[in-house]
Structure 1
Amino acid sequence: MTDALTVTLVQWGSSLDPAANRARLAQGAAAGGDLVVFPEAFARDFGEPGSDLGPYAEAQDGPFATEVAEVAAANDTTVLAGMFETSSDPGRPFNTLVMRGVAEAAYRKIHLYDSFGYRESDRLVGGPVEPVVVDLHGWRLGLMTCYDLRFPELSRALVAAGAEALVVPSAWVAGPRKVEHWRTLVRARAIENTVYVVAVGQPPPRYCGHSLVVDPLGDVLVEGGTAEEVLDATLTRDVLDEARRTNPSLVNRRL
């Protein structure tokens, strides 16, 4: 178990060219610490609203996940990135996070973005309703994707399963109030659960950017802007332990 975990947030946009996106993984991983986090749908952008994502779905051992594993191994790190994964419905893939490297895991997005005029469930299928928590250097990381952030019951389920940090790759669609919602929800999930939240988004113009890391007392450790950039932060166990002593809400819960 380590007392500190270094995280790198790669706030880059994905294109409609899967090969070009794979090629960028190595550069992002080379900049990283213990965990390098790319946004949701980094393997290939969603494209125009309503467009078919089935042709861009891959297996968890396909070209994208294989490249994630290779760049993680080359840099002795762990990489987390979003892709579209084949499902039993050829026309509706999973929206999946793949983690490869020192730790390995996969999370299929539970809450599909049927909101603000979008219908993600027309193009994608939701994953199983169960928390995914993975151990990395003694830190317990709970995985979420974008719209999941609006559902506090998932973050609480992850914390009940032992999560000490929530990692949230996203493609948070831009629009009125959306940056305010993003920042508020990231901080709320950190404060109410006394966990770190590592939230990585794609940048404008289509998405909001503002990737950030928030500590268990709600302090923003680092926050990006609206350009492509790479951010670094360190999660420390003494801050986590102190937050849970100061605000023992997990101990005091009644439901």
Structure 2
Amino acid sequence: MSKVEFSPSLMTMDLDKFKEQITFLNDHVGSYHIDIMDGHFVPNITLSPWFIEEVRKISSLPMSAHLMVTDPTFWVDQLIAIKCEWICMHAEVLNGLAFRLIDKIHDAGLKAGVVLNPETPVSAIGPYIDLIDKVTIMTVDPGFAGQRFLGSTLDKIVELRALRDKYDYSYVIEMDGSSGRKTFERIDQAGPDIYVIGRSGLFGLDEDIAISWQTMIKDYFDKTGKELK
């Protein structure tokens, strides 16, 4: 990817202003990040395929589902049924399932992603790295908003860029966790293609989503010298 993309994490939006915030963001972002948690892989229970269908009533942007679940097959089948554009599964629960689920997602004309927890090395996805469309690096412990940023995880983004260049892989690289004014500079140096942006970087900056967006744009420029639309 030649241009950085910001993907808002809708788990962290103000649900009292659901329509207002989505309508505004439709003109400014390239996709939405949907966290689906089952209460087992992580303690929380959050969004669902139903939520994706609700967003689609007012948005035509691609949806990226991040499955923090112990039974990915159950959720993959549901997301295929509603044609969720990106289905991203945790590497930690894919042993024995990876090839089957990646093929199933691709056969449905959708894109398959894999997510790595902070403790999980890039080597864990080596057997199928050439098949996936996106790799998401968790820069926080998963399952809660507002977790401590783990700077050492950025090394995996650098590693993934090097592998992609060397072997001509086609995946995009996404980072997820605590991106904002305090971390933009370090993240930019690692070079992900997609920033998942949540409360600290966007939704928590102001009650007015337009002001929050402009503040985020300024923060990003101040820390990186790069402009976003």
TM-score where L is the length of structure 1: 0.46
Cα distance change, pair 202–95 in 1 and its aligned pair in 2 (3 A): farther
Q: Report the counterpart of residue 153 of structure 2 in structure 1.
A: 182
2:201 aligns with: 228
- Judged with a 3 Å threshold, the aligned counterparts in structure 2 of structure 1 residues 128 and 45 are, in CA distance, closer, same or farther, namely closer
Superposed, 1:1-255 pairs within 5 Å as 7-10=5-8, 14=12, 27=21, 31-32=25-26, 33-38=29-34, 42-43=35-36, 56=45, 64-72=48-56, 74-82=58-66, 87=71, 104=85, 106-111=87-92, 128-130=97-99, 132=102, 142-147=112-117, 150-161=120-131, 163=132, 166-168=134-136, 170=138, 172-173=140-141, 174=147, 179-194=150-165, 195-201=171-177, 219=191, 227-229=200-202
Spell out, residue by residue over 1:163-190, the C-alpha distance to the aligned partner (whole angstroms, 9 max, x if none). Answer: 4x52427472256xx6221211122112
Counterparts in 2 of 1:169 and 1:183: CA distance versus 1, 3 Å = closer
- The SS at the match of 2:174 is strand
Tell whether the 8 Å contact from 1:149 to 1:186 is kept in structure 2 after alignment: no
Q: Work out whether residues 85 and 96 of structure 1, in 8 Å CA contact, stay in contact via their aligned partners in 2.
A: no
Greater fraction strand: 1
Deviation of residue 80 (structure 1)?
1.3
Distance 1:104 1:197 in 2: 16
Larger % of helix: which?
2
* Cα separation, partners in 2 of 1:157 and 1:26, compared to 1, 3 Å: farther
CA RMSD of aligned residues (A): 5.6
| Deviation of the 1:84 alpha carbon | 5.5
Q: In structure 2, what is the Cα distance between the partners aligned to 1:25 and 1:187?
A: 37
Letter in 2 for 1:64: S
Cα distance in 1 for residues equivalent to 2:52 and 2:69? 14
How far off its partner does 1:197 sit? 0.8
Task: Give, as a single letter, the amino acid of the residue that structure 1 aligns with 2:201.
Answer: E
Which amino acid counterpart does residue 98 of structure 2 have in structure 1?
V
Q: C-alpha offsets along residues 17-53 of structure 1, whole Å, 9 cap, x if unaligned?
A: xxx7697598358525443234xxx356969x985x6
Q: Which residue identity does 2:97 align to in structure 1?
A: P
SS of the counterpart of 2:156?
helix
AA paired with 1:8?
F
Note if contact 1:7-1:36 (Cα within 8 Å) is conserved in structure 2.
Answer: no
Distance 1:182 1:98, change over 3 A: farther
Q: Which residue of 1 aligns with 2:168?
A: none
* 1:102-147 CA-partner distances (Å, limit 9, x unpaired): 75354442316xxxxxxxxxxxx97823373767xx9x95412241
Gaps in structure 1 of 5+ consecutive residues: 58-62, 113-124, 233-255
1:9 CA displacement: 2.1
Contact in 2 for aligned 1:108/1:126 (Cα 8 Å): no
Q: What is the one-letter code of the residue matched to 1:190?
A: R
- Following the alignment from structure 1 to structure 2, what is the Cα–Cα distance between the partners of residues 128 and 108? 10
**Contact 2:86–2:111 (8 Å) recurs in 1:** no
- What letter corresponds to residue 164 of structure 2 in structure 1? N
Deviation at residue 157 of structure 1 after TM alignment = 4.0
**Matched length:** 187
Q: Identity of aligned pairs, percent? A: 6
